[in-house]
Structure 1
Amino acid sequence: MEKIRILHTNDLHSHFEHFPKIGRYLRAAQKDKSVDQVFTFDAGDFMDRSHPLTDATYGQANIKLMNSFHYDAITIGNNEGISNSHCVVEKLFDHANFPVILANLREEDGSMPHWAVQDKILLTKKGTRIGLIGLTAAYPLSYEPNHWHVKMLKETMDSVLPKMKGQYDVLILITHIGLNMDNFLAKNYPEIDLIVGGHSHDLLPHGKKVKNVWITQTGKWGNYVGDTYMEIDDNHHVQKITPHVEPTSLMKSKPDDEETILGYRQKGKEILSHELVADLPEKYDNDREAALQVSMDAIANFAGTKLAMLSSGLFLTPFKKGILTKYDLQRALPHSMHVVRSTLKGSDLWRLIMEIEKNRHFLDQFPLQGMSFRGKIFGQMYYKGIKFDPMSRVVFVNGKEVDPYQEYQIAVLDHYVLVPFFPTLAIVGDNDFLFPQFLREVIGDYLAKKYPLAGSENNGRANEQQKS
């Protein structure tokens, strides 16, 4: 009988406060002599640019730390594939000492990304062939504008499995597709033995068995580490799988952990604070409404629209007068969300505004739990170019009553398309997700032009003269 121990993480989201404990736990468990072999996997969303160190290093700090965890294989999540520009992802794994398994993502020309492999076979010391397939969330609306081609899960599995037939004894999927889709795979592909999953942040303390397939997830943010045992007979057939999780809170701390954790944040702050963006005038000093107004101007300019909307809860800290740095922007708007240009008929725009106004008081203090990191509360909605008369229920666009038959374009955020509060956007909006910049970068670029740093205008003119 062969005993295999499988350690796994998912959805760490740059929660570096758990990394010292997790690193020690993994490295100690990887030396376990009570089993024949130990494998370590990560199921995606290991990085999140809401942390200043991740943002400042474009995820390279995460890669360095993950190297110290000694992963045998990982897959990527939407935070890696969508929250970064195409060129950042192309370089993200340049210094990784682990393979990235990813069967359902391609370059636009259909080729495999140079940093990934579709599948992999691990050979144990006792000769068992463990087949690995990696899958990420199939979000064409977000991946395609970022110059990737993402394949649907069924299409991918129906293509990959026949090619792997006869090459493995045990089949493990490392997925970042959420529990519902893991259930789908378990029900439809009995070849699978184990799914190490992520994305939906489900905590499965003792796994979940669907037909004969085991699924395991460890929740989110490194609060738990997965620790799954597998028993394989002498004919290389799985006899038993026992998933469980270990709470990070019960792992032993060391005196210097806190200093290490604070050091990660301080290093990110130091790098970003040296990158100057704009010189803001007095009117922005601690004025959230002024920040909202100029931010709506920014996303409208980026999307090429005259209309825009934003919610106040996105802004965690106000802007200050004087020099604005990338750290100031990251602290105010840490969320990795993208601008969307939505085209709506006038009648649908009217309906969208009715949905917003109906929910206005409900959303004002609505806590944003389970919606990734989009601020603490939703907050108040603000409009650019739109006014609403609550007595007559008339919507005005740039001073004129909305024409129900005319098409209008409005700059919104992917957040508003995906959350359930404003269904009109998702149901009838013709939505263009705009890449690669995300919200704070769009706002920063706009402020840099509107309120340039001293000498930057002259330098820009000189450079233009040199080019000509």
Structure 2
Amino acid sequence: MKTTIHIYHTNDFHSHFENWPRIHQFLQERRAWHEEAGEEVFIFDIGDHVDRSHPLTEGTLGQANVERLNETGYDAVTIGNNEGITLPHEGLDLLYEQAAFPVVVANLFDQDGSRPKWALPSFVFELNNGLKLGITGVTAYYSAFYKGLGWEISEPFNELQTQVQQLTKQADLVVALSHLGMYDDEKIAQDVPGVDVVLGGHTHHLFHEGKLVNGKLLGAAGKFGYYVGHIQLEVDLETKSIVSKKARVYQTSEELDAPLQEQESIQQFYERGRQALQQRVVSLPRPFSCHWFEASELPQLLCEALTEWCEADGAFLNAGVVLDGLDAGVVTKYDLHRILPHPINPCLIELTGAELKEVLRQTFDKKWPHLAIKGFGFRGKVMGQFVYDKLEVDPIHYHFKIDGQEIEADKRYRLATLDMFTFGHFFQPLYRATHKKYFMPEFLRDVMEWKLLQLTSYTK
């Protein structure tokens, strides 16, 4: 006798609530459909459901995301880096307080080595037909960032090996929820015996019909809720072995029906977030301008604030990181979130003068201002021109000064900038630098708030 198990999965939703009404309706309908047919059905999320760039997520520190997962009937989730390292320690500790599902993440620990009270290394579901489905989850290994927030994160493959070995003794089928990325998912399939299915995320990859690696089925549903994944396993109940397995995805905009009052629901998500962020911050005596391709006040103000916040010798950033200016009058948390929605942290980097000059020379490359940036925490449109504080740059004659003095090649300097510039693909000296300090959990909007408060007489 055979039975069919259906697994629906999402990953890297990043608080794109404009796609949620269709996903919610689809998953609820599918669960009812399968259960009526006597088939087992599970719904899993593979992390980065939370993204603080949306005001609803920011205003509730992600707890509105957990409400959505509860309402839809998710059976289990793992965490991504957006849950793990963009929330303060206490924010993550409270995030799943009302969760109606297990949070499975095997490689996250408190600093004393214990597991968080809300996290399980694995979980076993007992099916009505006697089968047992075991799951474990792992998340990306951003050691320095987790440590800066008061967590310890272990190397995911070692934890995964341990959990799968235990699960194979307890369960008939094993599914890994992997927020590690496509290439690591393939490595899991190759190197971790006992795993039957790997559901992936983090690198926003999409497998339209799954991918078979070493006989293991990999599933991934892209990003932003553009797709929902579906794994179908046919299992022989006598041998408790998988007879066939297949995967597909459903495109949200084309294959999922629009629920009634879809646009009203989407607007309500946004409006609830806006209302949650109405706390007054400052009252500005005049407007502050922002332009991406010419000198303007707010990007310059933020750059100066970075120097002070990080206690640096100087700073630089790209003007495109500030999305808009501020009007005169009351500025709220919502206003600061609107102009600086990025989950980007300040970063202090120690460089030699030679390295600093090379980085500054590169900032004058003509490719930068109109370059569209994707990922790295950036939630804007284009890079914009670079803005400097206490740094003078003449790339034509190769003259560089810091605080009015010529930069000396062998001297060491403290540069403040955005953490995204240390992640590669931008400036290699920043990527390779061994002395870096990430300021966490503060984002750029927190630094801007701090600076604006210095400029005004209003105190909270």
Match of 2:29 in 1: 28
Q: Of the candidates 116, 132, 135, which is equivalent to residue 135 of structure 2?
A: 132
Match of 2:279 in 1: 275
Residues 200/286 of structure 1: CA separation in 2 closer, same or farther (3 Å cut): closer
Alignment of 1:84-95 (within 5 A): 84-95=87-98
Match of 1:6 in 2: 7
One-letter amino acid matched to 1:333: L
SS of the residue 2:184 aligns to = helix
Would the aligned equivalents of 1:6 and 1:229 in 2 still touch at CA under 8 Å? yes
Unmatched 5+ residue regions in structure 1? Answer: 461-468
Q: Of the candidates 150, 154, 157, which is equivalent to residue 151 of structure 1?
A: 154
SS of the residue 1:84 aligns to = coil
Match of 1:19 in 2: 20
Mapped pair 1:290 → 2:297: yes
Q: For residues 12-43 of structure 1, what are the alpha-carbon distances to aligned partners after superposition, in whole Å with 9 as ceiling and x for unaligned?
A: 11111111111111111111133521011000
Match of 1:118 in 2: 121
Q: What is the alpha-carbon distance in structure 2 between the residues aligned to residue 25 and residue 320 of structure 1?
A: 42
Question: Normalising by the residue count of structure 1, what TM-score does the alignment of the two structures yield?
Answer: 0.93
Deviation at 1:354, TM superposition (A): 2.1
Would the aligned equivalents of 1:348 and 1:428 in 2 still touch at CA under 8 Å? no
Deviation at 1:129, TM superposition (A): 1.5
Q: What is the alpha-carbon distance in structure 2 between the residues aligned to residue 316 and residue 287 of structure 1?
A: 9
Would the aligned equivalents of 2:424 and 2:431 in 1 still touch at CA under 8 Å? no
Match of 2:433 in 1: 428
Q: What is the alpha-carbon distance in structure 2 between the residues aligned to residue 437 and residue 123 of structure 1?
A: 42
Mapped pair 1:186 → 2:189: yes
Deviation at 1:282, TM superposition (A): 2.4
One-letter amino acid matched to 2:4: K
Match of 1:403 in 2: 408
Match of 2:355 in 1: 348
Q: For residues 44-99 of structure 1, what are the alpha-carbon distances to aligned partners after superposition, in whole Å with 9 as ceiling and x for unaligned?
A: 01111110111111111111111011111100111111111111001001111111
Q: What is the alpha-carbon distance in structure 1 between the residues aligned to residue 390 and residue 83 of structure 2?
A: 35
Q: What is the alpha-carbon distance in structure 2 between the residues aligned to residue 253 and residue 46 of structure 1?
A: 21
Mapped pair 1:57 → 2:60: yes
Alignment of 1:190-205 (within 5 A): 190-205=193-208
Q: What is the alpha-carbon distance in structure 1 between the residues aligned to residue 130 and residue 299 of structure 2?
A: 61
Question: What's the RMSD between the two structures over aligned residues?
Answer: 1.6
Deviation at 1:285, TM superposition (A): 4.5
Would the aligned equivalents of 1:190 and 1:213 in 2 still touch at CA under 8 Å? no
Would the aligned equivalents of 2:287 and 2:325 in 1 still touch at CA under 8 Å? no
Q: What is the alpha-carbon distance in structure 2 between the residues aligned to residue 251 and residue 382 of structure 1?
A: 45
Q: What is the alpha-carbon distance in structure 1 between the residues aligned to residue 263 and residue 231 of structure 2?
A: 29
Q: Of the candidates 388, 394, 397, which is equivalent to residue 399 of structure 2?
A: 394
Match of 1:466 in 2: none
Q: For residues 401-438 of structure 1, what are the alpha-carbon distances to aligned partners after superposition, in whole Å with 9 as ceiling and x for unaligned?
A: 10112111111111111141211101135111111111
Alignment of 1:363-378 (within 5 A): 363-371=368-376, 373-378=378-383
Q: Of the candidates 165, 171, 175, which is equivalent to residue 172 of structure 1?
A: 175
Task: Tell me which moved more, 148-157 or 337-346.
Answer: 148-157
Q: What is the alpha-carbon distance in structure 2 between the residues aligned to residue 56 and residue 335 of structure 1?
A: 14
Deviation at 1:450, TM superposition (A): 2.7
Question: Normalising by the residue count of structure 2, what TM-score does the alignment of the two structures yield?
Answer: 0.95
Mapped pair 1:222 → 2:225: yes
Q: What is the alpha-carbon distance in structure 2 between the residues aligned to residue 377 and residue 169 of structure 1?
A: 50
Mapped pair 1:106 → 2:113: no
Would the aligned equivalents of 2:9 and 2:229 in 1 still touch at CA under 8 Å? yes
Q: What is the alpha-carbon distance in structure 2 between the residues aligned to residue 151 and residue 169 of structure 1?
A: 27
Q: What is the alpha-carbon distance in structure 1 between the residues aligned to residue 414 and residue 190 of structure 2?
A: 42
Deviation at 1:155, TM superposition (A): 2.1
Aligned residues with identical type, % of pairs:
32
Match of 1:464 in 2: none
One-letter amino acid matched to 1:240: S
Match of 2:235 in 1: 232
Match of 2:252 in 1: 248
